[in-house]
Amino acid sequence: MARLKILMAPDARLKKVAEKVEKVDESIQKILDDMLETMYAANGIGLAATQVDIHKRLVVIDVECDENGMNKKPLYFINPELVKTSDDLNVYQEGCLSLPNAFDEVERPATCTVKALDYNGKEFTMDCEGLLATCIQHEIDHLDGIIFADHLSRLKRTRMLTKLEKSKKRKEYSDEIFQY
Ligand code: NI
């Protein structure tokens, strides 16, 4: 397995719409393995392929793993689709590995049903609630070129992206830990 470099916003590549996976083979599984390793190394709970500059509809999530790397329960989603979302909404303080040190409240459907292919290419549906529901919606957004800042008011989004752009220039955060 290998760690991949995570794109940092603002970056035009984060706006690309990812393509559907036509065949789940070893090359896809290798990407999923690398994405998972990258996500754990960065202490994230979710990662979309878009964030590592691979524009295929792939997502990995683990909302169970603690900060010591215990209780790992990885979930793999290939071509995930929201087939149902609740009318009632939930607000979470969201963050993102592509937007370091930026957090804000985002309102999304509280529960959702996702249809996807698993690691072996088998179709499944999953009812999601709580943090998992928020996380999968956040990750599917990435596949469609949307970051959580896009859900904020224009003022808040501009402020957040300007701050990120500045810290990127100052190299406040190092890319090193995300590289091989
Ligand atoms: Ni994200």
What tens digit of pLDDT does each residue of 137-157 get? 999 999 999 999 999 999 999
Q: Which residues have a Cβ under 8 Å from the Cβ of 172 and sit 6 or more positions away?
A: none
Model pTM score: 0.93
* Domain boundaries along the sequence of the chain: 6-179
Asked if residues 164 and 148 have their Cβ atoms less than 8 Å apart, the reply is no
Map 27-81 to HEC letters: HHHHHHHHHHHHHHHCCCCEEEHHHHCCCECEEEECCCCCCCCCCCCCEEEEEEE
Structure tokens at 140: 């599917």
CA of 108 to the centre of ligand 1 (A): 14
Which pLDDT value is given to residue 176? Answer: 45
CA of 26 to the centre of ligand 1 (A): 25
CA of 43 to the centre of ligand 1 (A): 12
User: Per the CATH hierarchy, to which homologous superfamily does domain 6-179 belong?
Assistant: Peptide deformylase (3.90.45.10)
Q: Known catalytic residue: 22?
A: no
What digits encode the pLDDT tens for the residues 2-31? Answer: 999 999 999 999 999 999 999 999 999 999
- Residue of higher predicted confidence among 170 and 23: 23
Could you give the CA distance from residue 21 to residue 84 in angstroms, rounded to a whole number? 21
Which pLDDT value is given to residue 167? Answer: 87
Could you give the CA distance from residue 165 to residue 7 in angstroms, rounded to a whole number? 12
Which pLDDT value is given to residue 173? Answer: 58
**Choosing from 19, 26, 67, 139, which is the catalytic residue?**
139
CA of 79 to the centre of ligand 1 (A): 17
Torsion sign, CA atoms 67, 112, 137, 159 = negative
Angle, alpha carbons 113-77-103 (nearest 5°) = 80
Mean predicted confidence (pLDDT) in 57-73: 92
CA of 111 to the centre of ligand 1 (A): 18
